[in-house]
Structure 1
C-alpha cells in the first residue's frame, strides 16, 4: 500500500497506472495515521469487500461454448479440458506418477490433452463426422486452442449456437469416456459409432 500513498494522501500518478476497479476500492479507503490501518467509509462486510475486490468483465471467448444448461457434468468437463486440468497420463507423470504414456484411443502416440482431443486419428474421425453432419467445414486442428476457435466461429451465429455448444461439450465428454472405457474396461468402440452416440 505504501507505493500508493505519498505525504499522507493517495498518489494520483500511481493510481492512474492501476486498474479502474482497484482505484475505486482505494478511494473508498481512508488513510489513517499509524501502521497500515484501514478504515472503510461504508460499513464493512464480506460481501462488500468481495464486490469491491473481484474482477469483472473478464469473460473469455469460450465461456458460452462450455456452459450447457442441460448437462453440468459435460460443461464442467469442458472447462477442465480447456484449462488442461484433466488427469491425462502426461499430467499424472508431471506429478510424479510412474506410468507408461500412450494414447488409449489410437495406441500410437503419448497421451496429452492436445493429442487426445485434437491430433489423435480416432478423435479426428469423430470431429470430421460431426462437422460433416452439421454441414460445417473443419480444418485440421493441432491443439485445444485451435479447436475452440473452430467452434467459436459457429457459436457466433444464432442459428448454430446451440448445436455448437452441444457438440463441443458432448464430444469432449464422450471422447474422455471412450478413453476411460478402453483404459479400464478394455472396451473398444469405433470412432463412427461414438460420433453417432454423440449426435
Structure 2
C-alpha cells in the first residue's frame, strides 16, 4: 500500500486505521472512503513480513492482530506500532519462541493456520496481484455498453472522440440546449437559419447536414438513402453496420466538421461550402 499511504497523514498509523480530518484533501478522503471495500476484497499474502506492520495492518484475514485478540494480550508481546510483521517471523516460519507462555496459546494456534511464503509480502485481489486497475474493475458499477462507445473510443482523434461523447450525451451547447438552461436565445439553426437546432436537426435533418452526408455517399459509393434517416441514432445504427473501422470513424469526424462549420457561421467568421467541408473531413481522416 506504499502508493496509498502518505507519510504525513499516516505518520503514526497506517491507511487501514488512520482517521480523516477536515484539513485532509478530498483525494485522501475518497481513498479512506473505499477502505471497507478494500478490506472486504484484498488479501494479505505473507512472505518476509517486511512490508506489513505486525499490529496495525489487517493481515489476520481482514483484521489487525489487535482486533483479533485482546489488546492486553497482544501488548505483552512487546511490539510497537511501527514493528514490522517480520518481528514475528524467523527463518521462513512463525517465531513461536515468542509465544511459549500459555497465555499466548490462542495466538499461536491461530498463526499455525496462516501460511508464510518464501518471497516478499504481497497484496492480492481477485486471485492476482493487487493493482489499482484490477481493484477499479472489481469495485466500479458496470453499466451496459452504449452503442456509440466503439466509435468514440476507437483509434480516432481525441477531439472527435470527446465531441462525440458530448453529442451522444446531449451536452453540446446548441441554442436549443442553452434555452432549456434558461439562457434567453432564439433556438434557431445557425447553418440553415430556418429551424430550431436540436441535435438531430444540426447533424442529420439540416439541409447542410443532408448535403454533407449525401456528398460522402456519392464520393465513397455508399448504398444508403440518407433522406430516410431522421435522427442521430438512426445514422449511428447505419455506421455501426459497416465493416470498415475507417468508415465508422468517419461518423464522429463528420459530426465534428458539421459542428465546426456551424460555429464559424454562428460567430460570423466565415462559411464554407458543403463540398469543401466534406473534402476536408476526408483529408483529415486519411492524414
TM-score when normalising by structure 2: 0.50
Question: Which has the bigger relative contact order, CA under 8 A and spacing at least 6?
Answer: 1
2:224 counterpart residue number: 138
The DSSP-based 3-state class of the residue aligned with 1:176 is helix
Aligned partner of 1:25 in structure 2 is: none
1:74 and 2:160 are equivalent in the alignment: yes
Deviation string 1:38-90 (CA, Å, 9 cap, x unpaired) is 86263589947643332347332321222353410111101111111111001
1:33 alignment counterpart:
none
Q: Where does residue 264 of structure 2 map in the other structure?
A: 181
Q: Which structure 2 residues correspond to residues 150-161 of structure 1 after superposition, within 5 A? A: 150-154=238-242, 157=243, 160-161=244-245
SS of the equivalent of 1:40 reads helix
- Paired residues for 1:96-107 under 5 Å: 96-107=182-193
Aligned positions of 1:1-199 closer than 5 A: 40=40, 42=42, 47=132, 50-56=136-142, 58-139=144-225, 140-154=228-242, 157=243, 160-165=244-249, 167-199=250-282
Give the alignment's Cα RMSD to 1 decimal.
2.5
Q: Is the 8 A contact 1:66 1:168 kept in 2?
A: no
Separation in 2, partners of 1:41, 1:118? 48
Q: Which runs of 4+ in 1 moved over 6 A?
A: none
Q: 5+ unaligned residues in a row in structure 1: which ranges?
A: 1-36
**2:192 alignment partner, SS class:** coil
Q: Deviations over 1:110-148 (max 9, x none)?
A: 111110001101100000111222211233211111110
The structure carrying a bigger helix percent of its residues is 1
In the alignment, the residues of structure 1 paired with residue 252 and residue 182 of structure 2 have an alpha-carbon distance, to the nearest angstrom, of 30
C-alpha distance in 1, partners of 2:224/2:269? 30
Contact 1:80–1:86 (8 Å) recurs in 2: yes
Matched residue SS, 1:198: helix
Distance of aligned partners of 1:119 and 1:130 in 2 relative to their CA distance in 1, 3 Å threshold: same
